[in-house]
């Protein structure tokens, strides 16, 4: 076939157009590059600054300060001061304790990007323990007493095996199966609270009453109407014992408010 100059001028641009179109199609069939992984979102943080003294305002050094459901735990310095940085903003239970003093607990709100300032005064109690305290022995003794009370058959007991079987994220989800108490949403505070079934512990309905049970964590009394969501995670709990009324509460816990019954929560390492 003979080509003249005019034919070549027409054919060459057409071939270039076809080649460009084929290249575009080939390029469009290539898989798109995966998007970059999202940057982790850091929770807003706050800081806790506080002091621990006795009732005469004398600083207490080496007092243990623990914020539950966080890794925040510190001991006070020689001036009774403590500081916890980088605590995720939110509501927590804080426990302050020192050997020879009555422990305290409180509910705190850690602000976002700000500092909450706290002051605690501990009451001195009679020293009944020796100079040396071994944590492991104390832990074993607590669980031994737990087992003895469970064998006595007074009260309702939830063991670590029971907790592991439920595989729940919140301890309150496990306690909802209790026959002794009712886990109820308090419309006033918006929190879950533990009410005694025996003492008219309901918020609505015929004969309704508000009888919040006394919650104890490792022997430390928690505030009345304590938000059950702030309890330790089930994976940290060794056992729970529940008593419906004052007549069934063990005598060693008789000094606390037991009118509506009592819930004793024992952790694996002891706060």
Burial 188-200 (b: 16+ CB within 10 A, else e): eeebbbbbbbbbe
In DSSP terms, 91 is beta-bridged to: 109
Better pLDDT: 242 or 1: 242
pLDDT more than 90, % of the chain: 55
Judge contact between 76 and 96, C-beta under 8 A. no
Give the pLDDT confidence score for residue 190 in this predicted structure. Answer: 85
- Alpha-carbon distance of 207 to 4, in angstroms, equals 108
pLDDT, position 4: 56
- CA-nearest of 64, 72, 56 to 108 is 72
Q: Which residue has the higher pLDDT, 36 or 217?
A: 217
Tokens of 207: 């004969």
> Which uninterrupted H or E stretch holds 240?
strand 237-243
What pLDDT score does 48 carry?
97
> In 3D, which of 184, 189, 164 has the Cα closest to residue 174?
164
Q: How confident is the model at residue 80 (pLDDT cuts 50, 70, 90)?
A: very high
Question: Please, what is the end-to-end C-alpha distance for the chain in angstroms?
Answer: 97
**CA atoms of 136 and 134, how far apart (whole Å):** 6
Domains belonging to the chain, first-starting first, are: 45-124 (2.60.40.1120), 135-267 (2.170.130.10)
What is the Cα–Cα distance from 39 to 24, expressed in whole angstroms?
33
For residues 60-73, average pLDDT: 94
Q: What's the pLDDT score for residue 79?
A: 97
Q: Dump pLDDT digits (tens) for 179-232.
A: 888 999 888 888 899 998 765 444 444 444 568 899 999 999 999 889 999 999
Work out the average pLDDT over 140-155.
89
Taking the CB of residue 263, how many other CB atoms lie within 10 A of it?
Answer: 26
pLDDT category at 76 given cuts 50, 70, 90 is very high
Q: Which two tokens stand for residue 94?
A: 């804080």
Q: How far are the Cα atoms of 54, 160, 210 from residue 165, in angstroms, in the given order?
A: 43, 9, 31
Task: For residue 215, list its beta bridge partners.
Answer: 263
Q: What are phi and psi of 25, to 5 degrees?
A: -65, -40
pLDDT for res 106: 95
Give the pLDDT of residue 210: 67
Residues 65, 191: Cα–Cα separation, whole Å? 24
Question: Average pLDDT of 237-262?
Answer: 89
Q: Kindly tell me if the per-residue pLDDT of 25 is higher than 70.
A: no
Token reading at 154: 């007074």
Q: Where are the beta strands (DSSP E) in 98-211?
A: 101-102, 104-110, 115-124, 156-159, 181-185, 192-196
Please say whether the beta carbons of 109 and 116 come within 8 A: yes
Length of the chain: 271
Residue reference for tokens 């816990």 = 253
Query: Helix or strand or coil: residue 246?
Result: coil
Rg for the chain, CA atoms, rounded: 31
Q: Using CA of residue 198, residue 203, residue 204, residue 208, what is the dihedral sign?
A: positive
């Amino acid at each position: 076939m003979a080509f003249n100059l005019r034919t070549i001028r027409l054919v060459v641009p057409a071939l270039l157009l076809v080649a460009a179109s084929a290249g575009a199609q080939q390029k469009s069939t290539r898989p798109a590059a995966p998007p970059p992984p999202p940057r982790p979102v850091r929770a807003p943080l706050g800081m806790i600054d506080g002091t621990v003294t006795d009732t005469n305002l004398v600083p207490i050094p080496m007092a243990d300060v623990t914020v539950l459901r966080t890794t925040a735990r510190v001991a006070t310095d020689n001036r009774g001061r403590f500081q916890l940085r980088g605590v995720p903003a939110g509501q927590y239970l804080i426990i302050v304790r020192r050997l020879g003093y009555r422990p305290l607990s409180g509910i705190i709100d850690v602000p976002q990007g700000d500092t909450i300032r706290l002051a605690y005064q501990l009451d001195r109690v009679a020293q009944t323990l020796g100079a040396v305290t071994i944590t492991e022995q104390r832990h074993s003794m607590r669980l031994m007493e737990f087992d003895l009370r469970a064998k006595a058959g007074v009260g309702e007991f939830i063991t670590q095996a029971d907790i592991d079987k439920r595989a729940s994220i919140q301890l309150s989800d496990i306690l909802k199966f209790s026959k002794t108490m009712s886990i109820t949403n308090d419309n006033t505070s918006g929190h879950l609270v533990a009410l005694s079934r025996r003492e008219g512990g309901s918020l609505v309905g015929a004969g309704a009453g508000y009888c919040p049970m006394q919650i104890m964590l490792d022997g430390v009394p928690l505030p009345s109407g304590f938000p059950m969501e702030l309890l330790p995670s089930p994976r940290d709990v060794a056992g729970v014992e529940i008593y419906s009324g004052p007549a069934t509460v063990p005598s060693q816990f008789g000094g606390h408010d037991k009118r509506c019954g009592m819930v004793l929560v024992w952790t694996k390492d002891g706060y």
